[in-house]
Amino acid sequence: MNIEELYVKSFGKLNDLRIKLCDNFNIIYGQNESGKSTLIAFIRAMLYGLSEKKNKTPDRIAYMPWDGSEAGGDMVLVHEGKKLRIHRTFDRNNHRKDQCQISDMTKGIELNLSGEDITGLTLSAFDSTVFIRQLSVTRIADENKDLYNKLVNIAQTGQEDADAGNALIYLEDRIKELSGRRKDVSINSVMERRSSLEKELNELIKQHQLMMEDESRLLDLKERLKVLEDEIAQLNEIRPSFMMLDEWERDFSKLKVEIERLDGEIKELEKTSLNGYREELKQKQKKLDDLLSQKSSYVDDQILKRYSGYSVYLTLGMVLVVAGLLATFLNPLFLALLAIGAVMAFLGYNGRNRYYQLIQMKQQEEGQEALAKQLILDIDDIKALINETETRLGQLRFAKDEKEQRLQELKKRIDDLMDSLSTYNIESYDYDSIISLSSQKIEEKEKIISQIASIQERWKDGEIFKKIPELRQEINLLDRHIEKMNFEYRAFKLAYDVMRNCLEEVNTDFTPRLIERAGEIIKAITGRYERVGIDSENLKLSVIVPEYSVFKSPFDLSGGTADQIYLGFRIALADAAASDKNPPLILDDALVQYDDERLKNALSFLVKYSKKRQVILFTCHRREIDMLEDLCDGDINIIEL
Amino acid sequence: MALKIAHMADVHLDSDFLGLPPHLAAVRRGDMIKSFDRAIDVVKAEKADILIIAGDLFEEQSVLKSTINHISSRLGELYPVPVFIAPGNHDPHTHRSYYRICDWPDNVHIFDQNLYRFDIDTLNVSVYGKGFDRPYIKEPALYGFKVEDSSRINIMAIHGDIAEESIYNPIRLKDIEGSGLNYLALGHIHTRTGLKRTGKTSWCYPGNIEGRDFGECGPRGFVMCTLDENQCKLDFFQVNTREYTVVNIDITDMPETQEIIQRVERYCGNNVILRVFLKGVVEEQYKEGINIPFIVDQLNGSLKEGLFYVDIVDETEVDIDLDALAKDVGIKGLYARKMKQILQEVHEDEKKVVKEALRIGIKALGGQEQ
């Protein structure tokens, strides 16, 4: 495309200004404050309109006509062989009220086209390629470092304001930060914090569960305690009865023993003593009776006297026998004496025997009499004994009866008490087991009381569970934070990967061609530096300086040289970017820093360049015009504002 | 004579309040109890005949004994008005539940897992109910249920999901239809449904009495159901202590910080828990400049005047004309083209990440982070 004519109806300080441009080289000269910048803005506005952003109105405000009229104008251009007119008006406040008509001038029809369609460039691409502003150049001149950065950027990314190296570092730093271990910054550290909180939370929840279980146990314990207390009270209540029962039972058995003893004694008395006495009495009586019935023979004392002399006969007889015997030896006549002695001894012997018999009979009689007397005495004794024993027996029987009665009474009392105790549910009626049961229960009760106390002590600080919601809330906040960080991480990772990818692609495809082309232009402008190189390792841009045959960084070069290199790159970029639409190259005071020699080189390059692409150079210096007039014999379009 | 049934549910005492910082947990815990107290006061003042609490009265995992003692005594104050509690999935009636452990007042009846009927002869009412005894129940709760004496007023308290299938006590509409109940007092869904009718049965979820997170905005409370022969009327009583509010504020016009503050302040009512989403399309630099901690700090004045909490989330998008950018020369253009390509290829869920990556990449290339 080429711009043929500009008609500023009203724009900023300009109004009713018509400028015709040629297809090749145009130079527009105007002193400061002459409206040069306004005219550049007008060209931009004609092509792309004014900013649409609601909040950003400086352009709109700056370029509204000072007299208050409506801003607007026309641009005539050749687009794909057709002559087009762009007519625009700009509202003071609202971009929606702006008007734009693009029409085919030969056919007289309105076309549905945008500035982008015509230039083949977006506004941003337009700004960064074919539109080389004064601002960019002067700022570069002020700060070489900035310029250097821009050059590196262009060489690397094709965009002076896009710093791929820094971009990558920025992205990578953040990725490292997020995936690293630094506290509170990295995802890991936040996750760790989260998991430690979760652990704490789970522990507390477990504690709470334990507490609930304990509370539940407490309920059971308290119920058990109540039962125990009732049981103990009951045991206490019945204990005296059991004590009495026990005593009674002891009395009972004691009585029983006594009764048995009495019974034994009675039986003993009856069986052995009394019966024995009676038997003895019977025998003695019988003996006495016998004795009394036997008393028949009686020895008279007279008779006895008669027989008392017979023992003398015996003695005499014996003596005669002995004397007869002895005398026989002397005289057998003495035999007669012997015979007389024998008869005499015989008679004496018989008489004496009879005497003795009578004496014996007399003695016997006297003995029997004594015996009978003794027997009667004995019988009396035995009778007394029997009497005595019977009295004793009577006493014993009375005692036994009395004790038996007491036993019956006791038995009844025991039975009654047992009856009354049977209403209590007691397994054993043994006093000792009741006592041991009672002490068992008391022991259990004390154990339960201490268990209850220990549970209550354990959970007396129920308030610790207030922390559960707090922890949950904190974890939730961390979750949100982690989610955000993960999101950020993924975005940064994607950005980084794509960016690397882009950089590689740009470096293999785009920049080598750009650098080559820039080298050609730079050589043409400077006549010295022929090649531009880029050190891909250190992201350093260098130019070859033939005199020294070394690579030099533009940083080490003079401001003017750096400017030239910059211009070379920008034009190379414009060539690379510009499509088949071939929009004009617009330079805004881009050559101010140049010395005469270089200016001449640059201008002659541009004049030559303008054969391929329309060039519009804005300047506030006359020397450019002078130099151009020398250079081109008037084959250029000079416009003065 | 009309029967007045106060019906509340999902109180979730001593639960957490997700979305708020931990230090506010204690205050909110107190708020919840205040709201509950207010509800009991209203039940008293309105002279309700019956109070039904349809589950999730407290948070089993974190409830304090002091809270249980408090609600127990408050419910006891209603004597002789009977209170029916049908435990829910958050407060199941287990062996170690406070429902069993605690000594509840005589007028409080707590249902366990078995369907049970209480008759209140003076009111000619039968109250059925059934509770959770574990956190999940899949069997349809009212399967085959039919009221025993249709000459009485039959109501039921139960916690569950109106659904064909659910892990939270599914209650099927066809079972409601066949139940013969006059009123079904439900709990589980935290948003009030208003009065619903299936067959001859009226039913309702009263919602919770106090919002618990930013998903539970607006007024909260309980309902009073007035039943007579053939009518069922429902009144709502708001008892919440604070109110969650979520607003979107569009800042596409990129106002000054003070202006943002003023816009937020419009929503800073008394006792409001506010979450603000900043929406709209802004420029990168503007987005970078949005200082949320500063804004929150400035709003502290409002906090003093009664606003409880404010949370501001920047959800603005950066104005990136991807199509224009894609036509750019050099790396930005290339980056934009690649991102555009990715954006077209990825799943809908991933688009946010890609957009963010696009923004970050362009920002990084802009060299603003030098």
What would the 3-class secondary structure string for B137-189 be?
A: ECCCCCCCCCCCCCCCEEEEEEECEECCCCCECEECHHHHHCCCCCEEEEECC
With CA atoms as reference, the chain A residue closest to B251 would be A55
Q: State yes or no: pLDDT of A136 exceeds 60.
A: no
- Helices (H) and strands (E) counted in chain A, each on its own, are 18, 14
CB contact under 8 A, B365 and A477: no
Query: How many CB pairs below 8 Å do chains A and B form together?
Result: 194
CA-to-CA distance for B360 and B370, rounded, in angstroms? 14
pLDDT classification of A52: cutoffs 50, 70, 90: low
Q: What is the ipTM of this complex?
A: 0.89
Residue A490 to residue B353, Cβ atoms within 8 A: yes
Reported as a single tens digit per residue, the pLDDT across B45-66 is 999 999 999 999 999 888 888 8
* Residue A240's pLDDT band (cuts 50, 70, 90): confident
Mind listing the pLDDT tens digit for each residue in A525-538? 777 666 666 555 55
Q: Is the pLDDT of residue B317 over 70?
A: yes
B19 chain-A contacts, CB cut-off 8 A: 473, 476-477
Tens of pLDDT, residues A436-453: 888 888 999 999 999 999
Residue A76 predicted with pLDDT over 90? yes
A55-64, A68-77, A440-449, B172-181: segment of lowest average pLDDT: A55-64
Residue A186: which residues within 8 A CB-CB, separation 6 or more? A177, A178, A179, A180
Mean pLDDT of B8-18: 91
Query: What is the per-residue pLDDT for B42?
Result: 94
Structure tokens at B325: 């950018």
- pLDDT of residue B285 exceeding 50: yes
Pick from A473, A510, A517 the residue to mutate for testing the B interface (most B CBs within 10 Å). Answer: A473
Query: What's the average model confidence in pLDDT over B347-361?
Result: 89
* B264-293: average pLDDT: 87
Query: What's at B198, amino acid-wise?
Result: T
pLDDT at A641: 81
Residues B111-121: tens digit of each pLDDT: 998 999 999 98
Do residue B62 and residue A468 have CB atoms under 8 angstroms apart?
yes
pLDDT in tens, A202-211: 999 999 989 8
Asked whether the beta carbons of residue B334 and residue A502 sit closer than 8 angstroms, the reply is yes
Which of A137-151, A159-173, A581-595 is predicted least confidently? A137-151
Q: Best residue in A47, A476, A488 to probe B by mutation, most B CBs within 10 Å?
A: A476
∠ CA A157-A163-A165, nearest 5°, is 95
pLDDT in tens, A451-466: 999 988 888 887 888 8
Mutation site, B17, B62, B256, B257, interface A, largest A CB count within 10 A: B62
| Orientation angle between helical segments A467-505 and B330-345, nearest 10 degrees | 120
Q: Which of the listed ranges A302-316, A341-355, B125-139, B313-327 does the model predict with the highest average pLDDT? A: B125-139
Residues within 8 A of A (CB atoms), B 24-43 only? 24-26, 29
- Tokens (6 digits) for A377: 């005495």
Three-state secondary structure of chain B: CCEEEEEECCCCECCCCCCCCHHHHHHHHHHHHHHHHHHHHHHHHCCCCEEEECCCCECCCCCCHHHHHHHHHHHHCCCCCCEEECCCCCCCCCCCCHHHHCCCCCCEEECCCCCEEEEECCCCEEEEEECCCCCCECCCCCCCCCCCCCCCEEEEEEECEECCCCCECEECHHHHHCCCCCEEEEECCCCCCCCEEECCEEEECCCCCCCCCCCCECCCEEEEEEEECCEEEEEEEECCCCEEEEEEEECCCCCCHHHHHHHHHCCCCCCEEEEEEEECEECHHHHHHCCHHHHHHHCHHHHHCCCCEEEEEECCEECCCHHHHHCCCHHHHHHHHHHHHHHHHCCHHHHHHHHHHHHHHHHHHCCCCC
Looking at the complex, does the CB of residue A439 fall below 8 Å from at least one CB of chain B?
Answer: no
The answer on pLDDT for A547 being more than 60 is no
Closest Cα in chain A to B26 = A466
Give the pTM.
0.72
Mean pLDDT (chain A) is 83
Instruction: Starting at the earlier edge strand, list the strands of the sheet with B243-250.
Output: B243-250, B272-279, B309-314
Query: Is the CB of A197 inside 8 Å of chain B's CB atoms?
Result: no
- State which residue of chain B sits closest to A149, comparing Cα positions: B367
| Residues B131/B108, Cβ–Cβ less than 8 Å | no
Residue A55: pLDDT over 80: no
Q: pLDDT by residue (tens digit) across A15-37?
A: 899 999 998 899 999 888 888 88
Please tell me if residue B339 touches chain A, with a CB cutoff of 8 Å: yes
Nearest residue to B323 via CA among A159, A116, A13, A108: A116
Q: What pLDDT was estimated at residue A153?
A: 75
Contact A159 B356 (CB under 8 A): no
Put simply, the answer to whether B65 touches A577 (Cβ < 8 Å) is no
Residue of chain A with shortest Cα separation from B332:
A162
pLDDT at B130: 92
Give the one of B23, B24, B254 whose C-beta lies nearest to A55's C-beta.
B254
Is B328 close to A128, i.e. CB distance below 8 A?
yes
pLDDT category at A81 given cuts 50, 70, 90 is confident
Q: B 77-106 residues with CB below 8 A of A?
A: 95-98, 100-101
